[in-house]
Amino acid sequence: MFNFEIRKRCILLMILISICLIPVAQAQDFYNTTQIQKVEIYFSASNWDQQLDTSKIGSDGYILADSVFINGQRFDSVGVKYKGNSSYNATYSKNPLHLSLNEYKNQSYQGYKDVKLGNGYADPSMIREVLSYNLLKNYMDCPKSNFATLYINGLYIGFYSNDESINKKFCSDHFSSADNLLIKCNPIINPGPNTKSNLKYINNDTSSYFNLYEIKSATGWKDLMALCDSVTNKPANTLSIIDIDRWLWMLAFNNALVNLDSYSGVFAQNYYLYKDNSKHFCPIVWDLNMSFGGFPFLGNSNSSLGSLSIANMQQLALNIHATDTYWPIINAVQNDPVLKRKYLAHLRTIMKECIENGLYLTMANQYRSLIDSMVSLDANKFYTNSQFQNSLIANTLIGSYSVPGIQTLMDARLSFFKGNSEYTAISPTISNVVATNAVYNSTINIKTNIQQASTVVLNYRFTGDEIFKQLPMYDDGLHDDGAANDLTYGASFVLNSLRAQYYIYAENSNAGQFSPERAAHEYYSLTAAYATAGKGDIRINEFLALNQADTVDEAGQHEDWIELYNTTGNTLNLFGLYLTDLYSTPTKYAFPQNTLIQPYSFLTLFADQDSSTAKYLHCNFKLSGSGEMIMLSDGNGAVSDSITFGVQATDISISRCPNGTGAFAPVTKTTFNASNCNIGGIVNQLSSGKYRLIPNPSSGSFRIQGKGIKSIIIYNALGEKVFENSYDSLNEISIDSLNLSSGIYLVNINGSLIMRLQRLN
């Protein structure tokens, strides 16, 4: 008779398969700033706090939480530990936490495997971190941030900031790669005036850097040491090894918002470095709970905290550390006239867009209205409700210094800037930026109207992985710029790509100006007139999210894969298209130039975050077996195809038949880089014999042939049982016409073998 346990497992498998076909409801974004997230942790041990303290002081490892709920979604067996330096103390009832959802099991929430919660230390406003990140994101890639409440074993611990972790996922989302060198720039032990993560060269012994940085990749100490050597001893080479524009934005942001618990302050810390695909080191800001003057220690030389009063912070100089050799990046910027003018241009943009127009204050009040009730209920917060309510205008004493009211600080800061001659210097004006003759493999001309400029530079590139190239722009009548001296500047380059990105920088002896003003975080884009794949020409045809025994890549590894299909009779180039697993990051994976797909043919990519080879393309993201989405688009809103899927079953792919146009359905026999529709007469081999469905597809009765048929169960695509019967070990049975609608059905034979039946009307 049919084994009940096998039958139960089979039904569970069918349910899992059916889930992948049901559209997934879009839950609230984990970093949505209009909603407070709810995190609940359950420990079986009553002394969980002691265990966390012991782990923090000792190996800094995780302890096991029996379960964690995030906005009601349960996760079993989660790693939890306390984090932070000054924000952590064993005597605190409310410490910052790091939750690792995948520490013991492969699981994630909306693709995020880490949850980092900040306890609001040194911030009576409770909004400094979230406000600062959500201003900074307009100018450089940085973590997402919003608010969360934390409960442990049912008890409300308090109100927290919820900050995106800087990890492989973050790097993949922002840098089109995940496995390059990642460095955390924070002193490991006891930050102090003599302990800085400032990129200053120490000596040629990598161990001298161990206490100042953390390498988050497999290797990288020699690369870090070489970076420090170059920045300190060969500043002329700085532009060839760092992404200077991200550095300029970071330094301008730190100065504008008096964010001194950063590279700009005494410890030169709280940032990461990622070596992108162009081999340039990109800074990533981290830990903004003490922004807006919450940390008054500027530092000087290598011996003093350099504590600032609130009045000093209000008038913090634009060129701090300009000649202090313990801040080599700031030295390089402040002592290069062009870089300094670019830095000041970014500073003016931040102040104009965030402070002068009151944006920061509008956002602050929106956040305060959202969080007011939960902050009031937080009995473990570091400040009183009155201090929270007055934190925009009142100063709050914290130990030996005062934290300024956010609005009070920024009002005075703006007044100081407006009285500074470097800040108020007249900068060029840029208007009417136009690209003409945007034809593939032809010369394209960029021209613009500019006043008050002595030098104009066009910056352009073809892909997001490249560093912008520079071309001078002229107003001489010889560069497709109109008449000489008519204030129209022009420059040309060969558009040997389907897409290009560009921005313009103009300066005079006193000031510089970018267009767009947020360049190079933002830029102008153009598409060549010679298009390749049009919207809908390429379709997602099949994918496998849990590969344990299916196709291997060139390294012999079982990896996730995605198959695309060309629905046209033309050979198409996929360059200019993008794949992603995140709607908010449509350009996550960019197809390389000259990625061709033949007419009515297939192209399969492994989704494993590995590097592409001559044999296979490899995406910079993986597919989640717990469900997510895949989208193919041009990155500018034109979606060629997408699918949102739920929980996946091992080695069962989701494919469509007919290729490129049929409905998605699960299949037990994957068709990597081949047609999905050769299902008639498929033979599945078991130790007990062979089985065959005839005819398949079927519009009426059909037969099952094979040795020892004892039971048949048929499920529809939603996992519902539509037929069940037992047999006396027959070699062939006939199933009469069933009242089944068209679609895909799964036939279970003898409780273990699953075959796919296509039903026609």
- pLDDT tens-digit profile of 611-638? 888 889 999 999 998 889 999 998 888 8
pTM for the predicted model, two decimal places: 0.74
Angle at CA of residue 320, ends 315 and 325, nearest 5°: 160
- Residue 195's identity, in one-letter code, is T
45 dihedral zone (left: phi>0; alpha: psi -120 to 50; beta):
beta
Q: What pLDDT sits at residue 548?
A: 93
CATH superfamily of 538-667: Lamin Tail domain (2.60.40.1260)
Residues 6+ apart with CB under 8 A from 362: none
pLDDT higher at 234 or 5: 234
Report the percentage of the chain scoring pLDDT > 70: 93
Task: Check if the beta carbon of residue 162 is closer than 8 Å to that of residue 147.
Answer: yes
What stretch(es) of the chain map to CATH 2.60.40.1260? 538-667
Task: Check if the beta carbon of residue 659 is closer than 8 Å to that of residue 675.
Answer: yes
287 dihedral zone (left: phi>0; alpha: psi -120 to 50; beta):
left
415 dihedral zone (left: phi>0; alpha: psi -120 to 50; beta):
alpha
Q: What value does the mean pLDDT take over residues 528-556?
A: 86
Q: Note the pLDDT tens digit of each residue in 108-162.
A: 999 999 999 999 999 999 999 999 999 999 999 999 999 999 999 999 999 999 9
Q: What pLDDT sits at residue 740?
A: 79
End-to-end Cα separation, the chain, in angstroms: 34
CB-based burial label for 261 (10 Å; 0-12, 13-18, 19+): buried
Lowest mean pLDDT, pick from 311-315, 381-385, 394-398, 492-496: 492-496
Lowest mean pLDDT, pick from 488-497, 515-524, 532-541: 532-541
User: Rounded distance, CA 595 to CA 176, Å?
Assistant: 17
What stretch(es) of the chain map to CATH 2.60.40.10? 436-518
- Cα dist. 415→111, 178, 411, 425 in Å? 44, 43, 6, 15
21 dihedral zone (left: phi>0; alpha: psi -120 to 50; beta):
alpha
Q: What pLDDT sits at residue 636?
A: 83
What backbone torsions phi and psi does residue 517 show, to the nearest 5 degrees? -65, -25
DSSP state string for 306-365:
-B--HHHHHT--TTTTTT-TT-HHHHHHHTSHHHHHHHHHHHHHHIIIIIITSHHHHHHH
Helix (H, G, I), strand (E, B) or coil at 52: helix
User: Rounded distance, CA 761 to CA 540, Å?
Assistant: 25
- Domain 436-518 belongs to what topology? Immunoglobulin-like (2.60.40)
